[in-house]
């Protein structure tokens, strides 16, 4: 349990970052704006022959701010966790104490994840109150599932950030890599999907029905896996719009999406540790 001491220190140190709290405040503000827009313009978002929006509809509507801001917060929280101490020389001092390199990585991951979780939980608490006040009652269990999946999604990027931090020698390189990771998953992954679609199907417009392989590739990104998992675990939500009269194939199910998220969480951390434990500091 040596990592627990490191985790406590990391939570204390990282929580003092002004940039982190600015981005966190922007995340909460954006989530509230999206929520408010849905409440105010609910009729415009609801087809004429459909029932008024339910709490589940609002849950799905606020996924976009989580998908946009949670990775930014997580990457900002984690990218200097190890490389910053490596540059200052304090990492050697830390490792001269009874801490292993695994203790360092686990402690920093846990501590930084706790920092990242604070604004996310605060936003969900506020949103839950607004949903209860303006939309109606909702299943607490469903909301807890969304919160847990959102925290897992965010910790994926904390894990990636810690991995980057352990494998680089300067904060500048780590920052550039962090920016690159954000671009890859938030921008270039969609372009990659369209390029594959063009190569295989000869078009950049998904045909009807959408090929199963295209849906699977979309789910392989953390954002796609997060969206599929949330929608799949919410009752009464058809992720694929009636493509599968019964259940979707196992590799397109919410459980597969959950496994993808866990893989993105575990694999970068493990590979980074394998390299970090043998690197010369």
pLDDT at 50: 43
Whether residue 244 is contained in a domain is answered as yes
Task: Between 149 and 279, name the one with better pLDDT.
Answer: 149
What pLDDT, on a 0 to 100 scale, did the predictor assign at position 13? Answer: 77
Q: Given this model, what pLDDT does residue 47 score?
A: 47
Q: Residue 44: pLDDT band by 50, 70, 90 thresholds? A: low
Task: Give domain status of residue 28, yes or no.
Answer: yes
Residues spanned by the domain of 70: 2-276
Considering only residues 55 and 232, tell me which one the structure prediction assigns the higher pLDDT. 232
User: For the chain, what is the mean pLDDT?
Assistant: 84
* Mean pLDDT value across residues 3-17: 81
What pLDDT score does 49 carry? 46
How many separate domains does the chain show?
1
281 in a structural domain:
no
Among all chains, which residue has been given the structure tokens 């019964």?
246
Mean pLDDT of the 154-175 span: 92
- pTM equals 0.88
Confidence (pLDDT) at 234: 85
Residues 6+ apart with CB under 8 A from 272: 105, 162, 163, 164, 166, 167
Contact (Cβ atoms closer than 8 angstroms) between residue 143 and residue 48: no
Is 35 part of a structural domain of the chain? yes
Residue 48 has pLDDT above 70, yes or no: no
* In a domain? residue 233: yes
């Amino acid at each position: 349990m040596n990592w627990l001491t490191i985790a406590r220190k990391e939570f204390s140190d990282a929580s003092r970052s002004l940039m982190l709290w600015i981005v966190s405040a922007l995340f909460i503000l954006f989530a509230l704006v999206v929520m408010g827009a849905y409440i105010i313009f609910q009729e415009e978002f609801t087809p004429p022959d459909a029932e008024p929006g339910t709490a589940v509809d609002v849950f799905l509507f606020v996924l976009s701010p989580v998908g946009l801001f949670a990775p930014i917060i997580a990457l900002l929280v984690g990218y200097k966790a190890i490389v910053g101490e490596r540059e200052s020389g304090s990492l050697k001092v830390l490792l001269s104490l009874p801490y292993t390199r695994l203790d360092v990585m686990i402690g920093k991951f846990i501590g930084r994840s706790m920092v990242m979780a604070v604004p996310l939980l605060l936003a969900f608490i506020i949103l839950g109150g607004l949903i209860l006040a303006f939309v109606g009652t909702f299943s607490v269990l469903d909301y807890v599932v969304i919160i847990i999946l959102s925290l897992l999604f965010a910790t994926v990027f904390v894990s990636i950030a810690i991995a980057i931090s352990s494998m680089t020698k300067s904060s500048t390189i780590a920052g550039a890599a962090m920016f690159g990771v954000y671009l890859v998953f938030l921008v270039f992954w969609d372009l990659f999907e369209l390029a594959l679609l063009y190569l295989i199907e000869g078009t950049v417009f998904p045909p009807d029905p959408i090929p199963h392989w295209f849906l699977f590739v979309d789910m392989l990104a953390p954002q796609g896996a997060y969206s599929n998992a949330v929608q799949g675990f919410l009752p009464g939500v058809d992720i694929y719009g009636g493509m599968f009269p019964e259940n979707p194939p196992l590799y397109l199910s919410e459980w597969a999406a959950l496994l993808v998220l866990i893989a993105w969480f575990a694999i970068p951390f493990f590979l980074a540790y394998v390299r970090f434990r043998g690197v010369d500091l």
